Structure 1
């Protein structure tokens, strides 16, 4: 299995790395009361709860190396001040990387030609 690289996202006041290793996935499941598949499905169908978002962010910060207390302060400070959609847009790539092993890959640019008459 290839090691996933952390997801880099701007959150709150700076760009941070987020990573959900297996031990913290178990903690995510415990804190949300749902299995990881159900959490991801809620993300994809926009049926997530606010705590789904904040726990993904908090545990993702811890998984990338931030001290748990610092991660909790950061999430508490900024999450409540953000629009839920903005919070979701930070959390979704973290869950996507966990589930697919990838982050969004840039699309190769191709030159488009027009048919002129």
Structure 2
């Protein structure tokens, strides 16, 4: 159902084409301004969450995430899964920052780590 709403020609011109400028507030072709408000009551944007139907846990998640990340970093050491893997220069366990082409410049080689619990993790008297 959401797939059909997002591709309904009643709401979108050329619905199967990726056109991010639809959401731009600048003047488009023909001098008209986009009237779509991403956080408004436009229900054709339901897959992204909108208006009253936006994710109800969004604010809670934004408040909880820094504490969760901090506790994870505090309670665990992270070890490289492949400790014998060497980089181009022959050095052990060096993070390679080579990039492959893409919009977000992803790394060429993934860093795979496993969490190892520390001996003294959050012992509060």
- Give the structure-1-normalised TM-score: 0.25
Higher relative contact order (CA 8 A, sep 6+): 1
Bigger-Rg structure (1/2):
2
> More helix by proportion, 1 or 2?
1
